[in-house]
Amino acid sequence: MSNSSETACVYAALILHDDGVEVTDDKISTLLKAGKVDVEPFWPGLFAKALEGRDIGTLISNIGSASAAAPAAAAATAAPAVEEKKEEAKKEESDEDDSGDEMLGGLF
């Protein structure tokens, strides 16, 4: 039931934003009652508080860019770490190769 309650509150907030009306607890509740949608009484207030002072238009337009930016940032920080590990592995391999030659008396 909570999933449909959340969805109903999101749609109500979007309708209010689209009409240029301030998103408040009472206005979300009024829209939900008009649509004959039953939700727990805390949902409208929760959404109104979450959206208070926020630019809903910016939130909507940045949904795709925020989710794409996070993996890109993670990949950018992971790349140097991978390169460092490769360099360390190469150094260890070269150290191991040198020690093997010494054990054989330099025959090879």
Residue 60, CA atoms < 13 Å, CB-side half-sphere:
10
- What pTM was estimated for this model as a whole? 0.55
Per residue in 38-59, pLDDT tens?
A: 999 999 999 999 989 888 888 8
Confidence (pLDDT) at 58: 87
The answer to whether 25 and 45 have CB atoms below 8 angstroms apart is yes
Share of the chain above pLDDT 70, in %: 57
The residue ranking higher by pLDDT, 80 or 37, is 37
Give the angle subtended at the CA of 28 by the CAs of 27 and 29, to the nearest 5°: 90
SS3 for 49? helix
